[in-house]
Amino acid sequence: MKRTALAITLGLSVLTMVGCSNKVSYGDATEVETVDVGFGSTDLQTVAQQMTDDLLTFPAVVAITAKERPVVYVERIKNKTSEHIDTESITDSISTKLLRSGKFRFVDMARVDSVRQQLEFQNSGGMVDPATAVSFGKQIGAQYMLYGNLSSIVKDNGKQKDVYYKFTMRLMDLQTGILEWADETEIRKVEERSKFGL
């Protein structure tokens, strides 16, 4: 009886020691994340970095940004993968990087309704001094449109899952319809399943 009790106590103490009990800690938001093969933070950061790196040094873009900061409109990136991916987050990262580079300016189509509401309030609400009200019809039109696609090819044979992501982006001159710049980024992620779950 005593031996059984001792064995149980020892067993429990072993389990407590090896359990690596749950704990919360802060991680590094910029480090490489390899939790699973799904589209993750590292992929988003890689895509945004690679696209801005290339766009800022591409000869045709260097020419159009040499004397002025062109106004760009970002269209949503089409998600053609089988996953749910917040593509707006990718375009947000890219447009933020481009804006902070000091070479481009942006118009935000996602906020048009709020802007219209505010301008209507200023101009016809009767509460704002007309001398300080922002008038309609003075906004600057976008000269270029930035848009893209995100697609994936997934292969899974039970032992190994392979995901290939392709991100394509283009910059179109809205006046002429000519594509001034295009680039692709490829990412391959592989998940190998171990047999014993270790």
Partner 1 sequence: MNTKTMIRWSGALIVALLSISGCSQKKSSGIGAQSAPAGTEFVVDNPDLAAKLQLSNVMQKRENNFLVVQAQLASLYDFEQKLQYQFRWFDEAGFQVEKDKSAWRALKLHGKQTVTLQSTAPTKKAQHFTIYVREILDK
Encoded tokens for 90: 């990718």
52 makes contact with partner 1 (CB under 8 A): yes
Please say which residue, 116 or 193, places its beta carbon nearer to partner 1: 193
Between 96 and 117, whose beta carbon lies closer to partner 1? 96
Strand ranges, E, within 26-123: 71-74, 78-79, 105-107
Residue 155 as a binder of partner 1 (CB under 8 A): the answer is no
Residue from 69, 71, 92, 97 binding partner 1 (CB under 8 A): 97
Pick from 22, 21, 41: which is nearest to 30 by CA? 41
- Locate the DSSP E strands across 40-174: 71-74, 78-79, 105-107, 144-156, 160-173
Q: Is 24 in the site for partner 1 (CB under 8 A)?
A: no
- Tell which one of 5, 29, 127, 140 touches partner 1 (CB under 8 A): 29
Query: Does residue 38 touch partner 1 according to CB under 8 A?
Result: no
**Collapsing DSSP states into helix, strand and coil, what is residue 127?**
coil
Asked if residue 31 binds partner 1 (CB under 8 A), the reply is yes
Residue 43's Cβ-count burial label (10 Å; 0-12, 13-18, 19+) is: buried
Of residues 105 and 118, the one with the C-beta less far from partner 1: 105
Query: CA 165, CA 170: separation in Å to the nearest integer?
Result: 17
Binding site for partner 1 (CB under 8 A): 3, 6-7, 10-11, 14, 17-20, 28-32, 34, 42, 45-46, 49, 52-53, 56-57, 61-62, 65-66, 97, 100-103, 198
